[in-house]
Each structure stands twice: as structure tokens, then as C-alpha cells.
Amino acid sequence: MNLPGNDTGSDGIAGKCVLVVEDDHELAREVCADLKSHGVHVLGPAPTIHYANLIIGKRRLDGAILDIKLFGKEAYGLVDILMARGIPIVFATTRQKEGIDARYRAIDTIDKPLDFADLRRKVSAFRPQMPPPEPLPVVRSPETTQDRWARLMLAAMRDTA
């Protein structure tokens, strides 16, 4: 939501391309709507790792907002792919730092329930990266029942938006 006195883009996030990976339908919708209202080009929401990989493709991203656990599966494989591409990440999570795999504790986090102003500040801190020297392969896994469900849920979200 665009608050009074907050012009779209005045917070330095307008025009950024951000991937949102979140399995909570309501929260994902709120995050995407808030970012879009501030001029962010949002990719997603992606409720599964498989769907996030499909969205990413060869697109240039300025950053990503990820929930660490998606439908019971940890998203660290996706984090590795994003890190290899030099894409800044913010974890949106209920986990404390010690609950995050030690390899990823340096990644910035924002606690749930989300403070959208804080989230926008973190997005504004995303810095453009250089494209990778060679395209990285997209890790594809077989589509699961959860992936099919997520695809249907996202189609329904687009119809109601």
C-alpha cells in the first residue's frame, strides 16, 4: 500500500526486479502488492522451488525475498543458485539466526510478521550485479503434486488480482 507522503519510487526501489518466493498465499499476495505499489517489477510469487526456477530462467534480478521453508522443504538449493548468480537475498522467516543453516547465516533476514517498510528498505539496499560470465543451468526437478497445486493457486491469484 502506498502511504501518504510516500511517492512511488521515493524509497529507491522503483524499477527493481525482485523475485518473491513464499508458500503462504496471503503473505505472498501482500508482499507482491506492496512492492508493486512502490514501482517494483515483481516476479512471482513462487510457492515452490520448482516454480521459482521456472520463473528465474535467464532473467536479470536485482534481488530475491525468500521464505526458507516451502511446503516443508528447505530452499537452500535455490539460495545456492541465486548466490552463484550474484543476486542479493533477504530471508523472510520466523527462524532465529541459529535456526538457519550455518552457511547462510550471513544473509540478511526479516522477521515474520513482516514490517513492509523494513522490507522495502532491504529491497532498496539491493545493488545491481554483473551478469554471470556463463549461463548457469536451471535445476529442474520433476513436477510434484505440490507444484501442480501451486501453479493452479497462482493462476487463481492472477484471476482475482
Phi/psi at 45 (5° precision): -80, 145
Per-residue confidence (pLDDT) for residue 137, from 0 to 100: 62
Question: pLDDT, tens digit, for every residue of 23-36?
Answer: 999 999 999 999 99
Domain boundaries, the chain: 17-129
Tell me which amino acid residue 73 is: K
Per-residue confidence (pLDDT) for residue 19, from 0 to 100: 97
Round to whole Å and give the CA distance between 43 and 35. 11
Q: What average pLDDT score do residues 45-57 get? A: 92
Query: Assign residue 118 a region: left if phi > 0, alpha if psi is -120 to 50, beta otherwise?
Result: alpha
Mean pLDDT of all residues in the chain?
Answer: 86
Output the pTM of the full model.
0.75
Residue of 23 and 5 predicted with greater confidence = 23
Round to whole Å and give the CA distance between 152 and 146. 10
CB-based contacts of 84, cutoff 8 Å, min separation 6: 132, 136
CB-based contacts of 115, cutoff 8 Å, min separation 6: none
Question: pLDDT, tens digit, for every residue of 114-150?
Answer: 999 999 999 999 986 665 555 556 666 677 888 888 8
Is the confidence at residue 100, as pLDDT, over 70?
Answer: yes
| Fold for the domain defined by 17-129 | Rossmann fold (3.40.50)
Burial class from Cβ neighbours inside 10 Å (0-12, 13-18, 19+) for residue 130 reads exposed
